[in-house]
């Protein structure tokens, strides 16, 4: 006979989801601001394939919708940091937020990548075309741990090699920046628009 005395989760990777209240007006303003930025420049080449990636730090743009989203990202980062550690006071640290807009037209996607040097990475979904089947519009995260294939015999969620989800417009997701992720090709006839960001703390 045995008695369980304790259960711990070691080396877990948090994925936290938020919902922006009354996001419709914000999303419309972000789409308009994105169209203005795209008209001004060709964009940057990062993980985007067949899509547009804004240049520089989007959060430096003075538009009210950008400022509103920056404050929401800051609030989410603070909430996530407090959730993973009761010992950390994020407001006692210096926080740098660096954001950019992604536009994936039909066929566009983002190749697998990480965000080196940051603590948290996040994505806010401005527009997400509706699809009935398939993986269009989904973001997929890959397990950062190695030597796990033999654990898959148990079909336990904690040991699956990947996790994918399709957030809706108005949702924000937050995850550690070391986590490898990518975005499936857009199989719809509409553009998929997101604002991604990195959050980095300094003492």
Count Cβ atoms below 10 Å from residue 74 Cβ, excluding itself. 16
Question: Domains in the chain, start-ordered, CATH in brackets?
Answer: 18-202 (2.60.120.620)
Distance CA 174, CA 188 (A): 25
Q: Which of 52, 189, 172, 48 is nearest to 130 (CA)?
A: 189
pLDDT tops 90 at residue 6: yes
pLDDT digits (tens, 9 = 90+) for 137-182: 999 999 998 888 888 899 888 888 999 999 999 999 999 999 999 9
> For residues 103 and 42, is the Cβ–Cβ distance under 8 A?
no
DSSP string over 116-185:
TT-SEEEEEEEE----SSSSTT-EEEE----S-GGGGGG--GGG-SEEEE-PPTTEEEEEETTS-EEE--
Can you give the pLDDT at residue 188?
96
Q: Which of 75, 121, 126 is nearest to 98 (CA)?
A: 121
Average pLDDT of span 89-118:
96
The tally of CA atoms less than 13 A away on the side-chain side of residue 149 is 0
Q: CA distances (Å), 139 to each of 75, 96, 112, 185, in order?
A: 22, 24, 10, 10
């Amino acid at each position: 006979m045995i008695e369980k005395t304790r259960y711990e989760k070691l080396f877990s990777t948090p994925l936290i989801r938020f919902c922006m209240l009354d996001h419709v007006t914000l999303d419309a303003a972000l789409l308009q601001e994105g169209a203005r930025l795209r008209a001004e420049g060709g964009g940057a080449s990062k993980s985007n394939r067949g899509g547009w990636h804004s240049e520089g730090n989007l959060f430096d743009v003075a538009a009210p919708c950008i400022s509103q989203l920056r404050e929401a990202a800051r609030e989410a980062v603070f909430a996530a940091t407090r959730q993973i550690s009761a010992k950390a006071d994020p407001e006692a640290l210096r926080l740098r937020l660096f954001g950019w807009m992604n536009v994936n037209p039909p066929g566009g996607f983002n190749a697998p990548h990480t965000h080196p040097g940051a603590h948290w990475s996040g994505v806010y979904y401005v527009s997400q075309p509706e699809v009935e089947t398939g993986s269009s519009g989904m973001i997929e995260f890959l397990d950062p741990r190695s030597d796990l294939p033999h654990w898959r015999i148990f079909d336990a969620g904690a040991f699956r090699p990947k996790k994918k989800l399709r957030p809706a417009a108005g949702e924000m997701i937050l995850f550690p920046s070391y986590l490898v992720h990518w975005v499936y090709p857009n199989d719809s006839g509409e553009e998929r628009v997101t604002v991604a960001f990195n959050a980095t703390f300094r003492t």
